């Protein structure tokens, strides 16, 4: 059957609505997946990554039953992109068949699963994005470094554009004076930001800002404002993850490579591990302050430190003797600062420059991460266990 020129399996249900009528495609779950997988992941990637994607897409559909009232799912990014027969692919069909009926379960029930394109090096928790605590959706570093089309990105937006997006969503604070990050999570993503204007001040989440401005423009909430990308160091070619607070002595972070770290020398005790990693300079000043104030997050900081030591996450840079004026003379740009850690710097002026890492909400499985794991020999079961620890695979 066809609707709007696109062929679908199953049958159609037509219902009257205020705008005319609503069309619902009623289709078997496995047939539904045939129209989803290619739209969500490149089926030419390693088959184990595609299998992991099949299980997640199937689990999402089962868990989301009734998400749209009488209908289970929509056909767009709000749920999963579904293109009917035009979205089918032979390789994807094979992966669907090989994982037929398999879903992720948590304590016997279908798990709440999510996936995204690129985590930017570290996934975040569901609570940091949508609220609520899900035991198997916690922050953790990617096991391998990888590069995707959105590993780093940048965009310039007129303040007037941001103002119009706020107004269209019921937020009118006049002409914007500044936008300032207020809080970040352990992965560096913005949790809360403050927007000041001639008509008042509004605090919103980083996720809300990205949604209002457009997820196609602001590809993730792992970003910062500046005149120049903090992620590309031209003298070193590195991609630092996240800026240290600017020094009172007005000195810049250096551009030197940190020495190789031998993890076999790391002690077993948790607190001693943190002390040992701190001495190896794998944490920024801001992170050290967070470690002192967040003892419950020791495991997360240890994981981040180990990931940096192994080269899976970029290393933070260390102080140098060059001043802002020295760099301004070299680059011709006044007051430019290399900040390897994600800064809390504000955006001012008629336009704002945004520099970021990764693409998507950052919760659950990173598709580019899964691709890399599969290429390293991981099975779909190992990939899913890594991103959703404690869940089980079953019918």
What's residue 244's pLDDT?
30
Say how far apart CA 283 and CA 308 lie, in whole Å.
9
The stretch 52-72 carries a mean pLDDT of: 85
User: pLDDT of 76-103, one tens digit each?
Assistant: 777 888 888 888 899 999 999 999 999 9
Give the list of residues 6+ apart from residue 365 with CB closer than 8 angstroms, or none: 52, 56, 113, 114, 115, 116, 123, 383, 384, 387, 388
Q: What angle do CA 208, 211, 216 make, to 5 degrees?
A: 145
Task: Using DSSP, state whether 60 is helix, strand or coil.
Answer: helix
Beta-carbon count within 10 A of 15 CB: 10
Domain residue ranges of the chain, discontinuous segments joined by +: 2-113+364-394, 152-228+341-357, 257-316
Of the pLDDT bands very low, low, confident and very high (cuts 50, 70, 90), residue 259 is low
What's residue 189's pLDDT?
92
Element (H, E) at 386: helix 380-387
- Residue given tokens 């037509």 in the structure block: 14
- Across-strand partners of 363? 124
Tell whether the model's pLDDT for residue 316 goes beyond 80.
Answer: no
Tell whether the model's pLDDT for residue 392 goes beyond 90.
Answer: yes
Q: Which two tokens stand for residue 141?
A: 């570093």
DSSP string, 146-158: ---TTSEEEEEEE
The stretch 260-280 carries a mean pLDDT of: 84
What's residue 309's pLDDT?
84
Which of 9-23, 58-72, 79-93, 200-214 shows the highest mean pLDDT?
200-214
Q: Which two tokens stand for residue 138?
A: 């916690």
What's residue 134's pLDDT?
94
Say how far apart CA 53 and CA 41 lie, in whole Å.
7
Tell whether the model's pLDDT for residue 112 goes beyond 90.
Answer: yes
Of the pLDDT bands very low, low, confident and very high (cuts 50, 70, 90), residue 216 is very high
Closest CA to 191 of 309, 342, 26: 342
Say how far apart CA 278 and CA 304 lie, in whole Å.
12
DSSP string, 331-356: HS-TT----SSPP---B-SSEEEEEE
Distances (CA, A) of 66 to 53, 82, 115: 22, 17, 20
Say how far apart CA 387 and CA 115 lie, in whole Å.
9
The stretch 339-364 carries a mean pLDDT of: 78
Which is it for strands 365-366 and 115-116: parallel, antiparallel or unpaired?
parallel
The stretch 12-22 carries a mean pLDDT of: 80
What's residue 83's pLDDT?
86
Task: Using DSSP, state whether 93 is helix, strand or coil.
Answer: helix
Which of 10-14, 74-78, 169-173 shows the highest mean pLDDT?
169-173
């Amino acid at each position: 059957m066809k609707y709007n020129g696109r062929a679908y399996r199953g049958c159609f249900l037509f219902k009257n609505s205020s705008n005319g009528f609503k069309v619902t495609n009623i289709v078997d779950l496995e047939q539904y997946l045939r129209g989803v997988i290619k739209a969500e992941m490149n089926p030419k990637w390693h088959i184990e990554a595609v299998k992991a994607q099949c299980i997640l897409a199937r689990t999402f559909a089962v868990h989301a039953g009734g998400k749209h009232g009488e209908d289970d799912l929509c056909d767009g990014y709000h749920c999963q992109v579904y293109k009917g027969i035009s979205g089918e692919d032979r390789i994807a069909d094979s992966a669907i068949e090989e994982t037929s009926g398999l879903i992720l379960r948590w304590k016997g029930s279908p798990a709440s699963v999510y996936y995204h394109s690129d985590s930017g090096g570290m996934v975040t928790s569901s609570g940091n994005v949508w609220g609520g605590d899900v035991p198997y959706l916690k922050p953790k570093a990617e096991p391998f470094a990888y590069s995707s089309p959105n590993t780093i990105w940048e965009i310039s937006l007129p303040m007037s554009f941001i103002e119009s997006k706020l107004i269209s969503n019921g937020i009118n604070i006049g002409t914007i004076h500044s936008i300032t990050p207020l809080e970040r999570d352990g992965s560096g993503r913005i949790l809360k930001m403050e927007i000041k204007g001639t008509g008042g001040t509004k605090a919103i989440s980083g996720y809300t800002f990205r949604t209002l401005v457009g997820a196609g423009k602001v590809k993730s909430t792992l970003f910062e404002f500046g005149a120049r990308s903090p992620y590309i160091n031209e003298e070193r070619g590195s991609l630092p993850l996240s800026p240290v607070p600017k020094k009172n002595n007005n000195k810049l972070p250096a551009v030197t490579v940190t020495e190789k770290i031998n993890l076999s020398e790391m002690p077993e005790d948790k607190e001693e591990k943190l002390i040992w990693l701190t001495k190896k300079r794998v944490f920024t000043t801001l992170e050290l302050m967070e470690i002192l104030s967040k003892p419950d997050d020791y495991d997360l900081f240890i994981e981040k430190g180990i990931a940096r030591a192994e080269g899976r996450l970029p290393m933070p840079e260390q102080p140098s003797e060059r001043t802002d004026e020295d760099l301004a003379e070299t680059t011709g740009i006044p007051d430019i600062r290399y900040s390897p850690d994600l800064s809390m710097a504000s955006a001012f002026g008629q336009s704002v420059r945004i520099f970021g890492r990764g693409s998507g909400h950052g919760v659950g499985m990173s598709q580019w991460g899964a691709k890399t794991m599969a290429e390293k020999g991981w099975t779909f079961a190992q990939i899913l266990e890594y991103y959703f620890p404690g869940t089980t695979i079953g019918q």
